[in-house]
Structure 1
Amino acid sequence: MDSWVRFSAQSQAKERVFRAAQYACTLLGYTLQKNGASPDFLARIKQLEAHLSLGRKLFRLGNSADALEAAKRAIHLSDMVLRFCITVSHLNRAMYFACDNILWAGKSGLVPRVDQEKWSQRSFRYYLFALIMNLSRDAYEIRLLTEREANGKCQKGGGGARDDARPPAEDGRLQQLALRLRRQLRLLACVLRSNPPLLLDLVKNACDLFIPLDRLGLYKTSAGFVGLCGLTSSVLSILAFVHPWLKLKP
Structure 2
Amino acid sequence: METWVRFSAQSQAKERLFRAAQYACALAGDTLRRNGASAGVLASVRQLEAHLSLGRKLLRLGSSAEALEAAKRAIHLSDMVLRFCVTLGHLNRAMYFACDNVLWAGKTGLVPSVDQEKWGQRSFRYYLFALVVNLSRDAYEIRILMEREAGGKRAKGSENGRQLRADNGLQQLGLRLQIQLRLLIRVLRNNPPLLLDVVKNACDLFIPLDKLGLYKTNPGFVGLCGLTSSILSILTILHPWLKLKP
TM-score bracket, normalised by the shorter chain, equals over 0.9
Q: Aligned residue pairs: how many?
A: 246
Native 8 Å contact 1:208 1:233 kept in 2: yes
Q: 2:221 aligns with which of 210, 219, 225?
A: 225
Compute the displacement of 1:152 (Å): 5.1
SS in structure 2 opposite 1:113?
coil
Give per-residue Cα distances to partners, 1:120-173, cap 9 Å, x unaligned. Answer: 0000000000001100000000000000000355x99xxx78x83884798221
Native 8 Å contact 1:169 1:175 kept in 2: no
Cα distance in 1 for residues equivalent to 2:143 and 2:78? 17
Match of 2:19 in 1: 19
Cα distance in 2 for residues equivalent to 1:165 and 1:122? 50
- The letter for the 2-side match of 1:230 is G
Give per-residue Cα distances to partners, 1:8-39, cap 9 Å, x unaligned. Answer: 11211110000000000000000010010111
Say yes or no: does 1:119 pair with 2:119.
yes
Say yes or no: does 1:190 pair with 2:186.
yes
Cα distance in 1 for residues equivalent to 2:41 and 2:162? 62
- The letter for the 1-side match of 2:132 is I
Match of 1:66 in 2: 66
Q: Note the aligned Cα RMSD (angstroms).
A: 2.0
Contiguous gaps of at least 5 residues in structure 1: none
Native 8 Å contact 2:5 2:62 kept in 1: no
Native 8 Å contact 2:127 2:208 kept in 1: yes
Cα distance in 2 for residues equivalent to 1:142 and 1:167? 26
Contiguous gaps of at least 5 residues in structure 2: none
Match of 1:55 in 2: 55
Compute the displacement of 1:108 (Å): 0.7
SS in structure 2 opposite 1:149?
helix
Match of 1:239 in 2: 235
Give the percent of matched residue pairs that are identical in Structure 1 and Structure 2.
Answer: 77
Cα distance in 1 for residues equivalent to 2:57 and 2:65? 15
Native 8 Å contact 1:92 1:127 kept in 2: yes
Cα distance in 2 for residues equivalent to 1:4 and 1:30? 37
| 1:40–1:195 distance in 2 versus 1, CA, 3 Å | same
Give 4+ residue runs of structure 1 displaced > 6 Å after superposition: none
Say yes or no: does 1:88 pair with 2:88.
yes
Cα distance in 2 for residues equivalent to 1:57 and 1:78? 34
Match of 1:33 in 2: 33
- The letter for the 1-side match of 2:245 is K
Say yes or no: does 1:108 pair with 2:104.
no
Compute the displacement of 1:69 (Å): 0.2
Cα distance in 2 for residues equivalent to 1:3 and 1:113? 29
SS in structure 1 opposite 2:81?
helix
SS in structure 2 opposite 1:220?
coil
Cα distance in 2 for residues equivalent to 1:151 and 1:94? 38
Cα distance in 2 for residues equivalent to 1:172 and 1:31? 50
Normalised to the residue count of structure 2, the TM-score between the two structures is: 0.95
Compute the displacement of 1:221 (Å): 0.6
Cα distance in 1 for residues equivalent to 2:135 and 2:82? 11
SS in structure 1 opposite 2:36?
coil
Pairing 1:115-154 to 2, within 5 Å after superposition? 115-151=115-151, 153=153
